[in-house]
Amino acid sequence: MDGIIVKRENVDFLRNGDESGLALLLEHSNTEIMVQKIHKNSLVWITPADEKDMVEFFYIVEGEVSLETSNETIHLKENDCFYTNRLEHEVLLRSHMDLKIFYVSTRPIYNNLDSFNNDLNELLTRIDEKDRYTKQHCSRVADLCTLISKKLDCAEKVLNNLVIAALFHDVGKCFIPAQILEKKTKLTQEEFREIYKHPSNSKKILKDKFSEEICDIAQTHHERLDGSGYPYGLSGTDISLEARIIGVADSFDAMTTKRPYNDPKTYEDAAIELCEMSDKYDSRVSDALKELVLSGEFHKFLNEVEYDRD
């Protein structure tokens, strides 16, 4: 078709509804022009391109976002733009409000991105349908891991792998029968055995979507320094730093959230308690968490993100 071409298919979700998603507006000579809609408080990431000459350009049409690297947080708002060129590691992007981004790539990327996004959404929906608590817990643990790894000055690669693994660490709970997940009384040995399977099931589910490193981190988030964890009973530095950070963040979130079988502890008490369990939790990690909590940094962060806690 020649002349002016008006394109409406695929983009209606941008005008109405609260659906998030990615729309391809134009594809021409390898260049793609897209628009992406992302919900408030979502974590997404920009991955390094295989082709060194690829440039990705982003223009914020609506909303506010921060770009997280291991040593800085860049806040961007409506009408700001940025581009990536020769990116070495993933960049995490957190939306503070519902976000609309205009996105240009000098290499075709839409099909891969779209199917990857669909896979991730399917995973998140699977967690949510099974157990709303688990989905919210995973995103709080991912946030806490970001704060801790920054406090520890972790390398960018550690931060990125860690956050992605944290976001999906409990996805394997999809296979646990609902009556066990929702049980309000003490679990039997057999029921515990079902629970113990979830880290390995998380790895199985994530295997086709993420690197082996990320899958291994998710699988080992319940390992403890003294070898008392599961599924392998790994000890000390056989447990990766990333898994040790998730271990602390995961337990902290469980201790401070109201569950049918326990009353929540205060953030301060939970952080101090974790520091006292240095046989199980890496004290460098729990000390960093304690510092975040006692200095008020953690509370400041909580005020910014406004979690649903139902």
- Applying CB under 5 A, the site for Fe ion has a residue count of 2
Q: Is 27 helix (H, G, I), strand (E, B) or coil?
A: strand
Q: Is 170 in the site for Fe ion (CB under 5 A)?
A: yes
Residue with Cβ nearer Fe ion (91 or 271)? 271
Closest separation in Å from C-beta 169 to Fe ion: 6
Specify the stretch interacting with Fe ion by CB under 5 A; choose among 57-65, 107-115, 166-174, 237-245.
166-174
Closest separation in Å from C-beta 240 to Fe ion: 16
**197 carries an active-site annotation:** no
Judged on CB neighbours under 10 Å (0-12, 13-18, 19+), 38 is: buried
Closest separation in Å from C-beta 126 to Fe ion: 15
Alpha-carbon gap, residue 60 to 13, rounded angstroms: 17
Q: Is the peptide bond before 108 cis (omega within 30 degrees of 0)?
A: no
Residue with Cβ nearer Fe ion (90 or 250)? 250
Closest separation in Å from C-beta 250 to Fe ion: 4
State the DSSP string of 38-104.
Answer: E-TT-EEEEPPPSSTT-EEEEEEEESEEEEE-SS-EEEEETT-EEEEES--S-EEEEESS-EEEEEE
- The mark string for 249-268 relative to Fe ion (x by CB under 5 A, - otherwise) is -x------------------
Q: Which of 37, 130, 135, 173 is the catalytic position?
A: 173
Residue with Cβ nearer Fe ion (37 or 169)? 169
Q: Which residues are catalytic?
A: 173
Instruction: Please give the residue ranges that form the binding site for Fe ion (CB under 5 A).
Output: 170, 250
